[in-house]
A and B are shown apart, each in its own frame.
Chain A
């Protein structure tokens, strides 16, 4: 390439970059030409290796068409990272992170779809912006806890950034596995970004007055129902005649079971009233029991920290769940979350409650990614309505990004976390079709770009926000895994015919044993801390605390 050709090429490349930043559809040309340039540099000297590697690294970055809502969100994320505003958390993180260029961050992610975001999008983009590489360590959900602890005990410094369930925060913080972020936040973050979290999620990483991570996945359960069935005049008329009530999304669990049974009676075997993921370990039982039990006024623990399960609320909850099971699709108790989605998407089930990807899949948005093609194409796109789960929906686990206390590059790791969870970048990540990251910031719920992802996306976002307003949190305390496991065993035993009262007693005995093992006083202290969080009980929701977010 002579000087003249080089000048022309550089001018062309700049034009491509500008066009890309303007959101025009020239990404592929840009990457191709950049690759060509670095390829031609092969003959020009020692810079070859580094530049070629860099160019290849760029090609890992998967960007949507810049004209699409996702593409626009990605462009906006890149602009916010490169151009500012100067006080934005994304921009400040990138500017500070350039000093750590060359560092490799080891990041744990749940194996599978969750890990595709850092592999295909946020990791390569971060590398492009800062020169920092990322090594994604895929782990199963339980291993995201156990491996983090094991590596901490070994002092290996194997991980820099940890994806953890909020329920693990007290254990990991007290165990010295994760580090507080307060100093870094004061130094680098725009404090208004903390105010952008929905109030249900804002306090989740806070423990003993310190911030131990950034909340990063709004796993709020919501109700998804078939509008075409619920609005069918014949069905409405029949329901009115039978129950003297209007057919609509249920407001109570009794009504839920009643509507499910009604639809099953009217439409089976073509369509059944409801479906649930009830298979042992799936883990729908624990979340469903916890949301219904607390909505029914049940207390998890008494003042003496004895399990409160053996109560009228406990029996009522199990009876309601049994009634719902009876009204559901055959094999309801054998379904896991994916099978339930398959049943709903193929039109066999009239209503489900599950995690937010349900809505994106029902609209056929998720299936646009090949990575998620194990989910069937939706046959109900455009026919799905959204409602808040009767009573109070469960925020079923979620994720925090936490900083490993053993990280050799804690500042670099923190800066990645701040950048990835900043409003513009987290929005683009939540909008990825294959990602299981669900909206959690107020700006996500209000986003015009997200609202344009599929025809009913605005309603979908609004419903998720409304659900969070009255949502309940999983217990955040040590032993959470043990408590959850006991509930799962209890529920599946009941589905197989065991007596509800006796099963509640067995589960309560297991809870008490867990509490004794971990220390009654210590557990009581953790539980007291948990009860301070908005959403810890049905009497303490965001809405009841007067903090509800209205879009």
Chain B
């Protein structure tokens, strides 16, 4: 009663009401309270698992070895000295590099072809981007059906075309198994390059080409002097996105080769999956994931730094 009277007197005097200490604190930190639920959610869903995985990589967390004792760098050591891990890292770099390079070149060629309007362009574009919407597992299965002997038609078609018997083991013989994996990846992801590069091409002002034409510049010169510089940021963006995705290559390998023969098609992701979920050495797989993350971060940092610097001429 007395408090109410005091507040009334203060209001009458034009002074703001005196708040409790909690209310004052809440008032001061109101903006933080508003974002707190989102921050807690992020902490719970991403930061906590990340930190937990860091802890796991320094302890024994193995479904075959009881106990969770501290093991120091043992898990990292196992990965570093595992020849399969080293091979899988090399293969990841090689496979993703080659696949993305081919996808880039093909994507650019298709984008340059499709940038001008022609009858049926819309239909062709729709068909071209269909592979993007297919799950990589399905893509792997589809290419397996095409390539796998004795049921796949590929060798038969090649035999008919070449006029001599073709008996390629597309998923068991080097180098054909790498060719198969690259073909599947290129088939699915070239449209991604195409879409991004086409967007970049359509954004180049047409008056630049008109001016160049008046100056007597040929098509090749126009490409080097106008298209390439203007498209460079989009190219880098497309390459960065695709490379980040390509180094996680797993699904098609799981379906098409099962990592074999031997460990020849073990990528980093496939290696980590095998260690973690076939052999159940979870702490080793987690340590390997951190090492892989460090390698990836280095590549990403370089690419993103270059991307941020890239500006159209």
A interface, CB within 8 angstroms of B:
142-143, 145-146, 149-150, 171, 174-175, 279-282, 329-331, 333-334, 339, 342-343, 348, 478-479, 481-482, 485, 488-490, 492-493, 495-496, 498, 503, 517-518
In this complex, what residue of B is CB-closest to A149? Answer: B63
Judging by beta carbons under 8 Å apart, are B151 and A280 in contact?
no
Q: What is the bound-complex CA distance between A348 and B149, given in angstroms?
A: 13
Q: What is the bound-complex CA distance between A365 and B303, given in angstroms?
A: 59
Name which of B89-97, B120-128, B277-285 contacts chain A. Answer: B277-285
Write out the residue numbers on chain B whose beta carbons fall within 8 Å of the beta carbon of A493.
260-264
A378 to chain B, nearest CB (A): 17
Which of B167, B172, B264, B277 counts the most A-chain CB atoms under 10 A from its CB? Answer: B172
Judging by beta carbons under 8 Å apart, are A348 and B279 in contact?
no
Judging by beta carbons under 8 Å apart, are B280 and A330 in contact?
no
Q: Among the listed A146, A331, A482, which residue makes an inter-chain contact with B277, where contact means beta carbons less than 8 Å apart?
A: A146
Write out the residue numbers on chain A whose beta carbons fall within 8 Å of the beta carbon of B148.
331, 334, 339
Q: Among the listed A149, A331, A496, which residue makes an inter-chain contact with B150, where contact means beta carbons less than 8 Å apart?
A: A331
Known: A331-B149, A348-B150. A496 touches B66 (CB 8 A): no
CB pairs A–B below 8 angstroms (12 shown): A142-B280, A146-B280, A171-B63, A279-B171, A282-B258, A330-B149, A334-B172, A481-B278, A492-B262, A493-B260, A496-B172, A496-B264
Judging by beta carbons under 8 Å apart, are B63 and A495 in contact?
no
B77 contacts A by Cβ under 8 Å: no
Judging by beta carbons under 8 Å apart, are B64 and A478 in contact?
yes
B42 contacts A by Cβ under 8 Å: no
Judging by beta carbons under 8 Å apart, are A496 and B174 in contact?
yes
Q: Among the listed B63, B172, B274, which residue makes an inter-chain contact with A333, where contact means beta carbons less than 8 Å apart?
A: B172
B155 to chain A, nearest CB (A): 8
Judging by beta carbons under 8 Å apart, are A280 and B64 in contact?
no
Q: Which of B165-179 contact A (CB under 8 A)?
A: 167, 169-174
Which of B65, B150, B171, B280 counts the most A-chain CB atoms under 10 A from its CB? Answer: B150
B259 contacts A by Cβ under 8 Å: yes
A174 to chain B, nearest CB (A): 7
In this complex, what residue of A is CB-closest to B148? Answer: A334
Q: What is the bound-complex CA distance between A478 and B259, given in angstroms?
A: 23
Task: Count A/B pairs, Cβ under 8 Å.
Answer: 91
Which of B167, B173, B279 counts the most A-chain CB atoms under 10 A from its CB? Answer: B279
Judging by beta carbons under 8 Å apart, are B279 and A495 in contact?
no
Judging by beta carbons under 8 Å apart, are A334 and B280 in contact?
no
Q: What is the bound-complex CA distance between A334 and B151, given in angstroms?
A: 10
When each residue 131-157 of chain B gets 1 if its CB lies under 8 Å from chain A and 0 otherwise, what string results?
A: 000000000000000001111000000
Judging by beta carbons under 8 Å apart, are A171 and B64 in contact?
yes
Known: A481-B280, A498-B262. A174 touches B150 (CB 8 A): no
Judging by beta carbons under 8 Å apart, are A280 and B258 in contact?
yes
Judging by beta carbons under 8 Å apart, are B258 and A518 in contact?
no
Judging by beta carbons under 8 Å apart, are A496 and B262 in contact?
yes
Judging by beta carbons under 8 Å apart, are A145 and B171 in contact?
no
Judging by beta carbons under 8 Å apart, are B260 and A343 in contact?
no
Q: What is the bound-complex CA distance between A498 and B64, given in angstroms?
A: 31
B190 contacts A by Cβ under 8 Å: no
Q: What is the bound-complex CA distance between A280 and B254, given in angstroms?
A: 10
Q: What is the bound-complex CA distance between A331 and B166, given in angstroms?
A: 12
Q: Among the listed B172, B173, B260, B277, which residue makes an inter-chain contact with A142, where contact means beta carbons less than 8 Å apart?
A: B277
Known: A145-B63, A333-B169, A496-B264. A339 touches B151 (CB 8 A): yes
Q: What is the bound-complex CA distance between A481 and B171, given in angstroms?
A: 24
Q: What is the bound-complex CA distance between A508 and B63, given in angstroms?
A: 22
B interface, CB within 8 angstroms of A:
63-66, 148-151, 167, 169-174, 257-264, 274, 277-280
Judging by beta carbons under 8 Å apart, are B279 and A482 in contact?
yes
In this complex, what residue of A is CB-closest to B276? Answer: A146
Q: What is the bound-complex CA distance between A343 and B278, given in angstroms?
A: 28
Judging by beta carbons under 8 Å apart, are A485 and B279 in contact?
yes
Write out the residue numbers on chain B whose beta carbons fall within 8 Å of the beta carbon of A282.
258
Q: What is the bound-complex CA distance between A265 and B37, given in angstroms?
A: 73
In this complex, what residue of A is CB-closest to B263? Answer: A489
Sample of 9 further A-B pairs with CB below 8 A, known A174-B66, A281-B258, A498-B262: A280-B257, A282-B258, A330-B149, A348-B150, A482-B64, A482-B279, A485-B274, A489-B263, A496-B262
Known: A142-B278, A478-B64, A496-B261. A330 touches B150 (CB 8 A): yes
Q: What is the bound-complex CA distance between A331 and B65, given in angstroms?
A: 39
Judging by beta carbons under 8 Å apart, are B66 and A495 in contact?
no
Q: What is the bound-complex CA distance between A146 and B282, given in angstroms?
A: 10
Write out the residue numbers on chain A whose beta carbons fall within 8 Å of the beta carbon of B171.
279, 334
Q: Among the listed A331, A481, A482, A489, which residue makes an inter-chain contact with B260, where contact means beta carbons less than 8 Å apart?
A: A489
Write out the residue numbers on chain A whose beta carbons fall within 8 Å of the beta carbon of B66.
174-175
B169 to chain A, nearest CB (A): 7
Q: What is the bound-complex CA distance between A420 and B18, given in angstroms?
A: 73
Judging by beta carbons under 8 Å apart, are A279 and B258 in contact?
yes
Write out the residue numbers on chain B whose beta carbons fall within 8 Å of the beta carbon of A149.
63, 280
Known: A331-B169, A482-B279, A495-B172. A281 touches B259 (CB 8 A): yes
Known: A329-B150, A333-B172, A478-B64. A492 touches B280 (CB 8 A): no
Q: What is the bound-complex CA distance between A329 and B169, given in angstroms?
A: 12
Q: Among the listed B63, B169, B261, which residue makes an inter-chain contact with A280, where contact means beta carbons less than 8 Å apart?
A: B261
Write out the residue numbers on chain B whose beta carbons fall within 8 Å of the beta carbon of A331.
148-151, 169
Q: What is the bound-complex CA distance between A441 and B192, given in angstroms?
A: 57
Write out the residue numbers on chain A whose beta carbons fall within 8 Å of the beta carbon of B258.
279-282
A176 to chain B, nearest CB (A): 9
Write out the residue numbers on chain A whose beta carbons fall within 8 Å of the beta carbon of B172.
279, 333-334, 492, 495-496
A145 to chain B, nearest CB (A): 7
Q: What is the bound-complex CA distance between A85 and B310, given in angstroms?
A: 84
Q: What is the bound-complex CA distance between A280 and B257, given in angstroms?
A: 7
Known: A333-B172, A334-B148, A496-B173. A146 touches B63 (CB 8 A): yes
Q: What is the bound-complex CA distance between A449 and B108, given in angstroms?
A: 67
Judging by beta carbons under 8 Å apart, are B278 and A485 in contact?
yes
Q: What is the bound-complex CA distance between A174 and B167, given in angstroms?
A: 50
Known: A334-B171, A348-B150, A495-B172. A145 touches B280 (CB 8 A): yes
B142 to chain A, nearest CB (A): 15
Judging by beta carbons under 8 Å apart, are A518 and B65 in contact?
yes
A247 to chain B, nearest CB (A): 24
Q: What is the bound-complex CA distance between A479 and B262, given in angstroms?
A: 19
